[in-house]
Amino acid sequence: MYPKAPNDDRESLSTLLVVPRSGRGVLPRLEATQAGRAGGVAGCKSMWRGLWTLAAQAARGPRRLCTRRSSSALAPGSGATIFALSSGQGRCGVAVIRTSGPASGQALRILTAPRDLPPARHASLRLLSDPRSGEPLDRALVLWFPGPKSFTGEDCVEFHVHGGPAVVSGVLQALGSVPGLRPAEAGEFTRRAFAHGKLNLTEVEGLADLIHAETEAQRRQALRQLDGELGHLCRGWAETLTKALAHVEAYIDFGEDDNLEEGVLEQADIEVRALQVALGAHLRDARRGQRLRSGAHVVVTGPPNAGKSSLVNLLSRKPVSIVSPEPGTTRDVLETPVDLAGFPVLLSDTAGLREGVGPVEQEGVRRARESCNFLATVVASVGAQSHSDSSQRLLLVLNKSDLLSTEGPGPGPDMPPHLLLSCVTGEGLDGLLEALREELAAVCGDPSTGPPLLTRARHQHHLQGCLDALGHYKQSKDLALAAEALRVARGHLTRLTGGGGTEEILDIIFRDFCVGK
C-alpha cells in the first residue's frame, strides 16, 4: 500500500523509520517495576538474595548460586531434589515454591507432618511446619505431582504460600533442611523437563521467550513455539528425509534385485525437491521472527516544527520530548521503548531530517505542501532497516489536520497514499496505529497468522545447513555420498529440536532462565 523508499536524500520530510534492533529487552524489564512496587523497600533485591543464601545454607553449607553448568543435558547433581521460589521476587499475595526430584514426596510429608501425601494433582490445604522446631510456618495450598506426570517428569511438589518474605524464607529454609534437597539453579526445572523429554529444544526456547515477552506479538510468537509448532514442522521434515534415505539405502543394498520397485530414487528426488522448496520459503522469512524477539526501531524525522516530538509523545503516551512551537527544540536523538500495536519498538525522536528518503515520498511531500501548505508533512517510513536489511517501509503522514476546517481544503486527489493526523486532538491516531501495525507485521512477522517463524539465528543456521546438504545430495553422482548428504541434512533438523550433540547450546539457552523456572 505504501511505497518503498529508494536510497535518496531530500529535505522537508518527516519520517518514521521502523527498523530491527539488536539486543533484547526493548521495554524496561518487569522485575524493576515489581521491585519498585514492593513498597519501595530499599535493597529489596539484596533482601531476597539474602533469603536465598539462608536457604542454601540450610541445605548444608553455602553454595555458589551461579555455578557454571556442566555440558550434560542435566545439571551436576541431577539426582538431587531441587527447590526454588518460582513466583518471582518481591512481596505478593501468593508465592509458589516448588520442588522436583525423588525426595519431593518425602519433603512434603515432612513439612505437613503428621499428614500423608495428598491426592495427586489436587490442591489441598495443609499446615506447613518447620521440621526442626515444629514451628508453624503457614497454612498453604499444596500440590503433589508424582512423576512422570509433572512439568519436569520427576516427582514434584508445589507449595502455594502467603507471599510475605518471612513465610517464603521460612519455607525455603525448612526445605533446605530436608535431606536430599538443595536450591535449584537458574533454569534447572526446565532443564530437567528437557532431559526427561517433556519439552524439546525449540519448546524450551519458546518458554524462555514467553517469560521474556513484553508485548502481545512477542507473547503470541513465543506461545506458538512453546506449543511445539516449529518442532513439529522440523520433525515432519526429518521424517521425509528418513523416508528418502530409506529409498536410497534400499537401492544401494538391493539395486540389482529385480523385485526392487523401479523409481525409488526418483521418489527420493521428489521428496527432497519438495523439502528444498519448503526450507527455502522458511529461510526467506527467517529474520522476522528474530526481529520480533529483539524489537524494531521507529525513527521520526522531518522538517523543523512538523510535530515530530508531539508524535513521539503521542505514540509513547508520555512526555519523552520537549514540545515547543519554536523550531529546533529537539537537539539530540531521544529514544524511548514503547509497545506499538503489540510490537516492541524503540522510538526515536530526531533533531533533523533523516537521510535516505526517496523521491516518491519527496514528491508526496511536495504535492501535499502545494495543495495545503498548512499541513505539516510527515513521511512515516516503516520498515526493516539494518546494514544488511534494506527493506525500509514508509508511511506518509500529514500532521496538524485540526487546521483543515479553518485553514482550507485537504490534499488533492493526486496525493500518494497518506494518513491525516492531528497530534493536538488525537484524530487519525487509530488509523496511524493500524498502519504501523501492518508495517511492523511486515518487518517483524505477524505471529497470529501463517507458519511458525524462525526465532533464532540457530534455527536459520540449521535450516541453511540442511538446505546445503540437500544441494550436495542433488550433485552427488555416487549413491553412498548421496545417502551421506541426506544423513547430514537430517542431522541438522534433529539438532534444531535438541537431538544429539546440542549440549553447548543448552548452556546458552538455559542462561536466559531465572531461578525457579
How many Å apart are CA 497 and CA 194, to the nearest integer?
11
Shortest Cβ distance from residue 30 to ligand FFO (Å)?
Answer: 16
Handedness of CA 364, 369, 374, 376 (dihedral sign): positive
Q: Of 48, 144, 151, 194, which lies in the binding site for ligand FFO, with binding defined by CB under 6 A? A: 151
Closer Cβ to ligand FFO, 20 or 206, answer by number: 206
Distance CA 37, CA 31 (A): 10
Residue pair 96/160 in contact by the 8 Å Cβ criterion: yes
Give the range of 147-155, 338-346, 350-358, 445-453 binding ligand FFO by CB under 6 A.
147-155
According to DSSP, the residues that pair with 152 across neighbouring strands are none
Interacting span for ligand FFO (CB under 6 A) from 142-150, 218-226, 229-237, 479-487:
142-150
Q: Is 96 or 244 the residue whose CB approaches ligand FFO more closely?
A: 96
159 binds ligand FFO per the rule CB under 6 A: no
Long-range contacts of 239-245 (CB under 8 A, 24+ apart): 240/271, 240/274, 240/275, 241/271, 241/272, 241/275, 241/486, 241/489, 241/490, 241/493, 242/490, 243/268, 243/271, 244/268, 244/271, 244/272, 244/486, 245/483, 245/486, 245/487, 245/490
3-state SS class at 290: helix
Residue in 149, 273, 318, 511 binding ligand FFO, rule: CB under 6 A:
149
Residue 105, all three cell numbers: 514426596
Taking the complex as a whole, the smallest distance from the CB of residue 198 to ligand FFO amounts, in Å, to 5
CA distance 72 to 188: 12
Contact window for ligand FFO (CB under 6 A) among 143-151, 162-170, 268-276, 371-379: 143-151
Q: Find the binder of ligand FFO among 96, 345, 376, 489 (CB under 6 A).
A: 96
* Binding positions for ligand FFO, 316-335, rule CB under 6 A: none
- Nearest approach in angstroms of CB 193 to ligand FFO is 8
Cβ 149 to ligand FFO shortest distance, Å: 4
Query: Per CB under 6 A, does 150 bind ligand FFO?
Result: yes
Q: How far is the CB of 199 from ligand FFO (least distance, A)?
A: 9
The backbone torsions φ and ψ at residue 380, rounded to the nearest 5 degrees and listed phi first, read -85, 105
Considering the complex, state which of residue 91 and residue 198 has its C-beta at the smaller distance from ligand FFO: 198
Q: Which residue in 223, 130, 124, 145 sits closest to 189, CA to CA?
A: 145
Residues 6+ apart with CB under 8 A from 392: 4, 5, 17, 19, 356, 381, 382, 383, 384, 385
Q: How far apart are CA 107 and CA 244, in angstroms?
A: 51
Q: d(Cα 176, Cα 83) in Å, to the nearest integer?
A: 8
Of 2 and 513, which has the nearer Cβ to ligand FFO?
513
Q: Are 419 and 428 within 8 A, CB to CB?
A: yes
Nine-digit cell string for 265 = 530414487
User: Least distance to ligand FFO from the beta carbon of 146, Å?
Assistant: 10
Q: Please tell me whether residue 178 adopts helix, strand or coil conformation.
A: coil
* Least distance (Å) between residue 131 CB and ligand FFO: 24
CB nearer to ligand FFO: give 144 or 145.
145
Smallest distance from the beta carbon of 121 to ligand FFO, in angstroms? Answer: 7
512 binds ligand FFO (CB under 6 A): no
Contacts with ligand FFO: how many residues (CB under 6 A)?
8
| Kind of pairing between the strands at 136-145 and 124-129 | antiparallel
Nearer to ligand FFO, 75 or 314 (CB): 75
Among 130, 138, 155, 158, binds ligand FFO (CB under 6 A): 158
Q: How far is the CB of 517 from ligand FFO (least distance, A)?
A: 7
Interface with ligand FFO (CB under 6 A), residue from 48, 83, 144, 145: 145
Interface stretch with ligand FFO, choices 37-45, 149-157, 360-368, 461-469 (CB under 6 A): 149-157
Site string for ligand FFO, 184-213 (x = CB under 6 A): --------------x---------------
> Which amino acid belongs to residue 372?
C
- What residue ranges bind ligand FFO (CB under 6 A)? 96, 145, 148-151, 158, 198
